[in-house]
Amino acid sequence: MLLLSREDIKSVVTMKDMIEADKTAFKMTVDGTVKTPLRTVIDGKYDGAFLFMPAYAPELDAAAMKVIDIFPHNVDNGKMTSLAQVMLIDGKDGYVIALLDGTYVTQLRTGASSGAAFDLLAKKDCKRGALIGTGGQAATQLEAMLAARKLDEVKIYDLNAERCQAFAEQMQKELVDYGAKITAAESSDECIEDADLIITVTPSAKPVFDGTKVKEGATISCVGTYEPHKHEMDPAILPRASKIICDSKEAALSETGDLLIPIKEGIISETDILGSLGDVINGTIKGRENDDEIIVYETVGVAAQDLVAAKVIYDKAVEVGKGMNWE
């Protein structure tokens, strides 16, 4: 069994590799060529949750199981809010062939989901980005945004101003090669002003931006909400949106308050949700048709992403001799 750390993974794949891996996963999901039961979520007593996500793809001769633990309040103690491990299993004999740092795999593939959505749905000429949230998922979300479109500027907002400033400064250093100016905003309104690409990645139970202030032509990726009672997306954006697309429509309608709450309140109906990103890839539903459309992308994550990402990472690591063998 190959043990792959965060540094091992970083050395063998790029964000663009992960964006392409996510596209493959989303296509496999709608094509029905991967078996991905809905995740099992067990709530913990410390306002945390334990998630179990299995997947099996016969065409890859591989299966995977991810265990991810989400503890939002960890950020207040300088700890990571999402912790995980991914087991990659040989589909031919059932042996576990790799154990990967699932926290980093999750960060990569979750960021890449927004990147895939922006690559497929955003207008080509984007100049400004907005990121709301600075937790454990934020850095890869930001990098995916920059990998998908050549931006001049990205503004960051978080309720904790000190943390937001520190995050913006750190990201400016780490992502300098993308050429964008990365700065902290003093408010959510300032953050999304004139933004072509918007990502929300927070554990908030209430909206974190004003949907009436989103500019025409924007593409919005809402990432942080995976429970029915939480909605970081402002429902006001939904009637303004030309299209609402999910990573998995089935999964989103079973999990996220971003959609379930507006449906319950009659703001939208299930039929307003066009489908999944894999449907766009397959051409069964249309993506962006003009530069004035507002498009909303809701991502809750599917286990196929972990499986495909783990397989891509494992194959590249074996090719270049990275990782530690555990006999």
pLDDT tens digit string along 204-224? 999 999 999 999 999 999 998
Distance CA 327, CA 312 (A): 22
Cα 123 to Cα 147: distance, rounded to the nearest angstrom: 14
Q: Which of 47, 53, 57 is closest to 67 using CA atoms?
A: 53
In the prediction, which pLDDT does 287 show? 96
The low-confidence residues of the chain, meaning pLDDT below 70, are none
Determine the pLDDT at residue 39: 77
Residues in the chain: 327
- d(Cα 209, Cα 326) in Å, to the nearest integer? 47
Res 136: pLDDT = 86
pLDDT at residue 293, as a whole number = 97
Q: What sign for the dihedral angle of Cα 220, 224, 225, 230?
A: negative
Question: DSSP for 72-130?
Answer: GGGGGGT--SEEEEEEEEETTT--EEEEEEHHHHHHHHHHHHHHHHHHHHS-S---EEE
Region of 212 (left: φ > 0; alpha: ψ -120 to 50; beta: rest) is alpha
Check if the beta carbon of residue 252 is closer than 8 Å to that of residue 298. yes
Q: Which domains does the chain have, with CATH numbers?
A: 2-105+304-325 (3.30.1780.10), 121-301 (3.40.50.720)
CB atoms near residue 14 (< 10 Å): 12
* Paired tokens of 270: 């299930």
What is the CA angle 175-178-148, rounded to 5?
110
Pairwise CA distance, residues 64 & 310, whole Å: 8
